[in-house]
Structure 1
Amino acid sequence: MTSRREPRLADAAEIAAEQGLTPARISGLYTERAENAAGVPFPEVADMRGRARLWDHAKVTEWFAHRQPARLRKHTPPARDPQDLLNAAEASRFLGYKNPNQVTTFVRDHPGYFPDPDVVEELGTADNPYRRQQWRVQTLLDWMATRPGRGKHAGAQRTAPALPDVPVDGDPDELLGATQAAALLKFKSVNSFSSSLSQGNLPLLETPDALTENGGRRRWTRRRILEQAAQRGSGK
C-alpha cells in the first residue's frame, strides 16, 4: 500500500507573508468562513501548534488562487507597451498582487491556471543554471480579462472549462500535460487535479517525465498517468 505524503502545514503568519496580508486578516477569513470566487469556503484548520491554528498549505494556496479581492477588481494596471516583457515579480505587481511571488506560485502550483510565458531564457552557468520566464503585457491583459472571479461576487458559481476527450489507447510514451492528465484521471477540472497533485494524492506523478521548453510545464507519459489511474481506482 502506497503511503501518502504528510501535507505541509502553515500558520497565519506564514500564509499572510505569502499573500501580502496580515495574520489577523488570515484568521478573519477563517472565522468568517469567507468564500472565494468559486464559492469555496476558507479551508478548515488541519492542526494546532499550541494556540496557533495550522492549515494545509496546498489547500490554502488553492483557495487563494480563486480569490480576487476587491482591490484587484478595481485595479487598473499601469500603461505599458503591449509587447513589453515582464518577469514573474514584475508581472505580479502589474496585475495588482502585493505578493511579488504570486505569478511564480500560480505557474508552479496550479498548472493550466496561468498562461505560459512568452519568452524563456536559460541563464547562469553549467554548474548553476537558472531560467528566466517573461510574459508580454498583452498576455497579462488578456488573462486579466478572463481570470477566475473577475466581475463575480463571492459565492457565485463558476463553470470550469470542459476537459478534452483523451484516448486511453494512444501511444503509451506520448507526453501529456496537466489538462490531459486531469481528463484521464477523471477529475472535473484541471484545478482539482492540480490541488490533488500538490497535496500528495498522486504519488506516481510527483516527478514529471519531462518539462516543456516553453515555461517548464510538467509532462507525464500516458503510461504513467494510466498507472496512477489504476492505483486510484484500486484505492491504494
Structure 2
Amino acid sequence: MPTRSPDPDVVNHVEAAALLGISVSHLHRLYRERSTTGFPERTADGRTWNREDIARYEPPSNRIRRSTQASIDRTGDPNELVDVATAARILGYTNRSALHGNNPVWLRLKECPDESSASAGGRTRRRWKRETVWKIAEDRVGRGGAESTGRPIGSPHGHPDRTGDPDELVGKAEAARILGYNHPNALPTPVLDRADEQNTGPAGRRRLKWRRATLWTILDQRTN
C-alpha cells in the first residue's frame, strides 16, 4: 500500500497511525479488538478509513491517561512535605495501601524521598514534597503507566532497588524485584549464573542466592 492515499478523504494504515500518534502495530491491534476499543470500521475497500473517523477517534490509552492526569491532586504548597497517606491521595489512590510492594509508583517514591528518618521501631519514615509527588505522577502518565505496555515477562520494567545490606543473601523473588523484573522466572541465564550461593533442595531443585552487592553490580553493568 502506498505511504499516502490518493483520496484526501481516506487514510491508509500508515496515515491513520500517524494521525493518532501510535505505531502501525498498535493501530492493527486496536482494529482487531474494535468491538471493545471502538476503533472505526474500514471503508468499503476494506483497506482504508475515513479521515474524519480517525481524527475523531481517541485511543483507550489516551482516555486512561487523561483520566489519570485529571485524578492528580495539584493543590497545596509545592514545597510542603507529605507522608505516604497524603502522597497516595495526591496520586489518586483511595488509600495508602496501594503504595506497597512492587507498585512501580511506590518503588519510584522510595527512590527519591525529600526527607527520611527512622522510627522508634527502626522503620524508615519517608516524606516527599508535593512537587516531587506531582513529578512522579506526571512521569507515570507520560510513560504509559496507566495501561499495560505488553512488555515481555523477561524484560526489566520496574525501578531497581539499591537499598539494604550489600552482603545480605537474597533468593530469586527478591533478586527479581531488585533488578526490576516482574517475576522470578524472568531472571535471565546470565543472572542465574552469577548467583553467589547454589545448593540443591530436597526435591532436587536448584536453590540460588545472590548478595545484594552482586545484583547492584549487575545493574551497573546493565546501565553502562
Q: Which has the higher contact order (CA 8 A, sep 6+)?
A: 1
What is the TM-score of this pair, normalised by structure 2? 0.38
